[in-house]
Amino acid sequence: MQDKAIALQDVDLSLGRGAARVHILKGVSLGIDRGEAVGLVGPSGSGKSTLLMTMAGLERPDSGRVIVDGTDLSGLDEDALARFRGRRIGIVFQSFHLVPTMTALENVALPLELAGEDDAFDRAEAEMQAVGLGHRLHHYPAQLSGGEQQRVAIARAIVPNPAILVADEPTGNLDENTGQSIVDLLFALKRDRGATLVLVTHDLALARLCDRTVRLRSGRIEAEAVTA
Ligand SMILES: Nc1ncnc2c1ncn2[C@@H]1O[C@H](COP(=O)(O)OP(=O)(O)OP(=O)(O)O)[C@@H](O)[C@H]1O
Ligand SMILES: [Mg+2]
């Protein structure tokens, strides 16, 4: 399991309090190889986003282990975990999570600035060009369309060159052409930089591009299929 990009062993996770408490992930075990692309599919509410956040170290399991790039995340305190994520994992959220008071360019530069990189704004601008938003550098998130915000979120996730990229419905809000350019970007990251991709998607065409699909149902892995 140490040689995997991501390994989950018998992960259980509940979220919420009191009557709203939900047992979301139930005994999930999964290994993802370095450089592999995995499509995470399943019905709404089956736990895809929660599983993705668990892999990215943003949710801690109640039991079971999450090992990313050979590191058992349960052994890291919050600060160490945040540093680990910043260096190794790019995350694209279902609802973007852009900082509303920062311009698009500032949002993309943020992870590099936090890492103390000198050329943060140059690299951020290059990444904004790569996602087709070179003409929207100084817009604030509220001044961008949903698809444009999605692309800013992707630029921010990939700008530090993460070894692992997890993305929650990266093409969900995009038209076909823009969606295709995002798919090309994500798979270029895999091909050119050897990144591991984990993508939640309802898009069967995108799922088929992955090396493997994993289907969740009611918080359990229902099926796995090799697609490539
Ligand atoms: N913080 C929380 N507190 C309580 N329940 C939660 C919480 N987050 C998620 N849930 C519940 O857990 C279940 C799984 O949620 P999750 O967001 O992982 O589903 P999903 O597969 O990503 O669905 P979708 O395709 O609609 O995005 C849902 O029934 C949801 O209502
Ligand atoms: Mg979701």
What are the boundaries of each domain within the chain?
35-60+77-221
Q: Is 75 in the pocket of ligand 1 (CB under 6 A)?
A: no
Q: How long a stretch of residues is the chain? A: 228
Alpha-carbon gap, residue 167 to 93, rounded angstroms: 6
Alpha-carbon gap, residue 108 to 101, rounded angstroms: 13
Q: What is the pLDDT of residue 34?
A: 95
Which atom belonging to ligand 1 lies closest to the Cα atom of 16? 3
pLDDT 10s digits, 98-124: 999 999 999 999 999 988 899 999 999
Ligand showing the shortest atom-to-Cα distance for residue 92: 2
- Residue nearest ligand 1's atom 7 by CA: 15
Give the residues of the chain that fall short of pLDDT 70.
1-2, 228
Q: What is the pLDDT of residue 1?
A: 60
Q: Is 44 in the pocket of ligand 1 (CB under 6 A)?
A: yes
CATH fold for the domain made of 35-60+77-221: Rossmann fold (3.40.50)
Tokens of 137: 């550098």
Q: Is 46 in the pocket of ligand 1 (CB under 6 A)?
A: yes
Q: Is 18 in the pocket of ligand 1 (CB under 6 A)?
A: no
DSSP 94: T
Tokens of 100: 């509303």
Which atom belonging to ligand 1 lies closest to the Cα atom of 94? 27
Q: What is the pLDDT of residue 146?
A: 85
What are residue 39's DSSP bridge partners? Answer: 199, 213
Ligand showing the shortest atom-to-Cα distance for residue 93: 2
- Residue nearest ligand 1's atom 30 by CA: 45
3 state SS of 39: strand
pTM reported for the whole predicted model: 0.92
* Ramachandran bin of 63, using left for φ above 0, alpha for ψ from -120 to 50, beta for the remaining angles: beta
Beta-carbon contacts of 129 under 8 Å, excluding residues fewer than 6 positions away, are: none
Beta-carbon contacts of 213 under 8 Å, excluding residues fewer than 6 positions away, are: 38, 39, 40, 41, 207, 224, 225, 227
- Residue nearest ligand 1's atom 16 by CA: 47
Q: Which of 28, 41, 50 best tests ligand 1's pocket when mutated (most atoms within 8 Å of CB)?
A: 50
CA 37–ligand 1 middle distance (angstroms):
23
Q: Is 47 in the pocket of ligand 1 (CB under 6 A)?
A: yes
